[in-house]
Amino acid sequence: MSTDNAFKTVTMAKVYEGQGHWEKATEIYRYLLDQDPEREDVRDALDKLQSRVIPESEVLPDRVGALLVRWLDLTIRYGQLKGLEGCRSRFKALRRVSAYAQASLSGQDSGDSLKQDKTD
């Protein structure tokens, strides 16, 4: 028995199965059945595992659809965020112009009011 095959035990198959590594668990169960075809416990475990496992061809379209919906949602939110950032920069520019206009009307040095606004 090689080193790799030394780890092919029912216990290891159950560990893989519990972690969701169904292909690895199936591989071990099949190996064990090749070694001893009379093992009903291994045959039952393999049958049970194969009945639970949904083929990837059936799962993949659902995952792709969910990922596409998520991607579209994030793309829309990113666009909204960029729009808000643009509004924010325009608002800051208007505040500076407003501060400059108020300073001009009140006779203050306009440079002081602009310096004060940058610290806000």
Per-residue pLDDT of the chain (120 residues; tens, 9 = 90+): 455 788 899 999 999 999 988 889 999 999 999 999 999 999 999 999 888 776 655 556 667 778 888 899 999 999 999 999 999 989 999 999 988 888 888 876 545 545 555 554
Residue 61 is predicted with a pLDDT of 67
- pTM of structure: 0.44
For the chain, helix (H) and strand (E) counts, in that order, are 6, 0
CA distance 42 to 115: 79
Q: In this predicted structure, what is the pLDDT of residue 1?
A: 47
Q: Parse the chain into domains and list their residue ranges.
A: 3-52, 56-118
User: In this predicted structure, what is the pLDDT of residue 44?
Assistant: 94
